[in-house]
Amino acid sequence: MFEPRRHSQRQEPSNHGMLTVRQVAEDLNVSTRTVHRWIASGNLIAHRVGGVVRIAAADLRAFLAAHRAA
C-alpha cells in the first residue's frame, strides 16, 4: 500500500529520529496533504516541537506496519 522509496539519498535526520511532514511525504511518495490527513485522522502520530509538526521515526514504522498491504 505505502511503499517507501528505496533510493533516497537523504541523510538520517540528526534530530533524534524526528521527521518533518515533507520528509515523510517524500519517503512515501505521497503529498504533504496526505500526511496531514493521516495525522488529522489519528492514523499517524505526530508531535508539535517548537511550533512545527514532527513525526517520530518509530511512529512512522508503526503506521507503515499497521497499514501494510495484505
* Length, in residues, of the chain: 70
Predicted local distance difference test score (pLDDT) of residue 12: 47
What digits encode the pLDDT tens for the residues 3-38? 555 544 444 444 569 999 999 999 999 999 999 999
Predicted local distance difference test score (pLDDT) of residue 49: 84
Predicted local distance difference test score (pLDDT) of residue 6: 53
Q: pLDDT band at residue 47, thresholds of 50, 70 and 90?
A: very high
Name the pTM for this structure. Answer: 0.74
Evaluate whether 55 touches 24 at the Cβ level (below 8 Å): yes
